[in-house]
Structure 1
Amino acid sequence: MTSPWIEGLRSVALNVPDLVKAEQFYVNIWHLEVAHRKENAIYLRGSGGDDHLLALYAGSEVPQVRQVTLRARSAEALVKVSEAVERAGGSIVTPVGPLTKNPAGGTGVTVRDPHGRIFQVVHGDARHEPQPPVKDIPIRLTHAVLNSHAVDETQAFIEQAFGFRLADRTGIMAFMNCDRDHHTIAIGITDNDALNHIAFLMPDMESVMRGGGRMKDAGFPIQWGPGRHGPGNNLFNYFIDPFGIVIEYTADVEQIDDSYVPRGPSDWKWPEGRYDQWGISQPPGAPLKEAQRRVFFAS
C-alpha cells in the first residue's frame, strides 16, 4: 500500500520560544543530536539516515508548526505533487526548485492545504549513513498527527495531493498510509486544526520504556502510556515538551502492504474502561488533551 509519490516523513519544523532550552531538552533528555546550527535555528537528527528530524527555530512565545516535510520517491514526483495539490484545492507556496536555505539541500516544493497547513516535499536531500539502532535514541519520525475540524476534506486532500491511502479510521482519527508503516500522517477528528503530536520511532520496547523513565526523572511525566495502540499496533508513551508540544516515543509499528484491509470505527472499539490493547494504560488526561489543541501552523 504505497503512494506513487511519497516514501515517508522526513522532518517537522517548529517555532519555539527558547532555542537554548529546546536544545538542552531535545539533546540531553530526548536523545537527539545536533546536525546543523544557524544563528536562529538548530537541526536535530536521530540514529537513522535522515539529515534531521526536527528543525527548531527561534520564534514567538507560543510554539508553532512551520511545516511538515515529506520525502518524494523521485524528482518527477515533485512535479506530480505540484499538479495534484492545485487540483485538490491547495496552493503552491514555493514552486519546485533547489532548497538553498535548508542545510539538507535537495530539491523541493512547498504547498499549503485548504486549511492553511504547510507541507514541503523534498527529493535528493542529504542523508547520513544510518547507525545501527542504539537503545534510547530515536531512529526517525514515524508519523505526525494533525487535527482537523473537517476530517473528510483533509483526508481527501492528503489522498489526492500526496497519493496517500486510508489505512484505518476510528471514531477519533483517520490513519493515512504512504508506504510500509501503517500510517505516516493521521488526522485527528476534532474541532480545531492544531498539531496533535509527533511520533519518534525507537529501536524497541526497552527504549520506549527507558525513555519514559528518563523523561519522568527529568520532570516530564508520561501523559499517556505505556500501552499498545489498536491501529498501527505500535507501543506508545506520550509526553509534553517544555513548550507544550506533544511528542511520542513509539516502537514496533505495524508494517502493511496492499493486502491490508482498512477497517472502520466499529472495528476499533475497546471494552469499557480500556484505552489500549493491553488494558493497562490509563486514559489520556486533561493536560495532554489541552496540549493537543494549542500548537497551530504559522500563518
Structure 2
Amino acid sequence: MRLITHLRHVDLAVPDYDKQRDFYAGVWGLTEVASDSGISFLAAEGSPEQYVVRLRKAAEKRLDLISFGAASESDVDALAERLRAADVRLISEPGKLDTPGGGYGFRFFDLDGRTVEVSADVAVRKHRKLEAKESVPVRLSHVVLNAPDIDATRTWYETHLGFALSDTLAHPRMGQVMHFMRCNPQHHSMAIARGPHTSLHHISFELRGLDEYMYGTGRLLRAGVRMIWGPGRHLAGDNTFSYFLDPHGNTVEYTTELEELDEDTWHPHVHDFSQPEVTDQWGTANPMNELIAKESFNDVDRGVFVAPPV
C-alpha cells in the first residue's frame, strides 16, 4: 500500500549561503517566505506547499533532505512502523514539526544514506494561479538522485515507500542508467540515475506552460546563468527541459507538461537513449554527451548517513 502522496521540498546546505539565496529568490523565481539565521525557506508562487526549497548555511555543500507528503498522521505512523519493522534506520520518531506550516512527520535514512522526511497535516500556503507569460515556477516537479546501484535503490523505494516504476533509460553499451519513479499519477516525482557516488542529480521546477517555460529559459540565459542542456523535450515523461547550474554546481531544471499516467493501465518502457529522439524529441537541445553527464554527477555528498542539524 502506498502511503506517500507527493514530493514536498528539497533542502540544500551550502557554504556561500547569500549567493545561493540570491539566485533562488532572484533570477530563478522562488519567493522567500521565512528566514532565520542562516536558513531560508523558498516557496513556488503556484504551489500550496509552504516551501519547495530550504537553504541552510553550512561549511560543506550537501543535500540536507528530501521531503514527501502523506495523507494523514495515521499514515505517517503506519509508515514509521513499517520502516522500523524492516530495520530501516529512523533519525526521528513521528511528532510535531516546527518548520513553516507545522505538521506531523519523521525522518529516516534511505538505502544510500540520504535523509528523507515524510509529513502530513502541513498547513496549506495561500497561493495563486500564475498569469500568462509569468515565467516563475508554479511548483516543484521532481528530484533526481545519483546512486551507484540504481536497481538496489529502485527496489528500496518500491519496497519501503510504495513507489512504482514508470520508465527506464538504457544504452546498448552502458546498460540501464535511469529509473523514473512515481508516487502518484505524475510520470515521476523522483528518478534514480546511475552515478559514481551518492549525490543530487537535479531538482526540477514546473512552469505554467510552454510559453512561460521558454520565457524563463531566456531570462536565465540573458542573466548569464550557465545552461548545460536544453531547451528540448524528453520522450520519457514527455516533459520539456532546460538544465542550469546553481551557484554551487547543483543542476536545476525548468520543465513543463510532465505526463500524467493512467496508473491502472500503464506499463513501463525501456527507452534506448542512444537514439537522439529519446533524450530530445524536438532536436533543439545540444547533444547529450559525457561532459554534460559529468556535470550532473555533482560532488560526493557529504551528508550520507549524517542527519542534518535542523
TM over 0.5: yes
Cα distance, 1:256 vs. partner? 0.9
Aligned 8 A contact 2:41 2:54 in 1? yes
Cα distance, 1:275 vs. partner? 3.3
What is the number of residues matched between the two proteins?
294
**1:222 equivalenced with 2:227 (yes/no):** yes
Q: Which amino acid aligns with 1:282?
A: N
For 1:272 and 1:4, how far apart are their aligned partners in 2? 35
Aligned 8 A contact 2:206 2:256 in 1? yes
Cα distance, 1:6 vs. partner? 1.1
Cα distance, 1:90 vs. partner? 2.3
CA separation of 1:244 and 1:142: change in aligned 2, threshold 3 A: same
Could you tell me which of 91, 112, 116 is aligned with 1:115?
112
Which structure 2 residues correspond to residues 1-299 of structure 1 after superposition, within 5 A?
4-47=2-45, 48-60=47-59, 62-100=60-98, 102-134=99-131, 135-171=134-170, 172-265=177-270, 267-269=271-273, 271=275, 275-284=279-288, 286=291, 289-294=294-299, 296=301, 298=303, 299=306
Cα distance, 1:257 vs. partner? 2.3
Question: 1:11-43: per-residue Cα shift (whole Å, max 9, x none)?
Answer: 011101122212211112001111101011000
Question: 1:108-166: per-residue Cα shift (whole Å, max 9, x none)?
Answer: 01010122111000111122122012421111111100111111211111112211111
Instruction: Say which is worse superposed, 271-280 or 36-45, in terms of deviation.
Output: 271-280
Q: Which ranges in structure 1 are unaligned for 5 or more consecutive residues?
A: none
SS in 1 for 2:105: strand
CA separation of 1:288 and 1:269: change in aligned 2, threshold 3 A: closer
Question: 1:80-120: per-residue Cα shift (whole Å, max 9, x none)?
Answer: 221332455521110100112x1231110101012211100
Q: Which amino acid aligns with 1:95?
A: E
Q: Which ranges in structure 2 are unaligned for 5 or more consecutive residues?
A: 171-176
Aligned 8 A contact 1:108 1:123 in 2? yes
SS in 2 for 1:9: strand
Please report the RMSD computed on the Cα atoms of aligned residues, expressed in angstroms: 1.9
Instruction: Say which is worse superposed, 84-93 or 29-38, in terms of deviation.
Output: 84-93
TM-score after normalising by structure 1: 0.92
Give identity over the alignment, percent. 30
For 1:272 and 1:107, how far apart are their aligned partners in 2? 45
Q: Which amino acid aligns with 1:229?
A: H
CA separation of 1:223 and 1:25: change in aligned 2, threshold 3 A: same
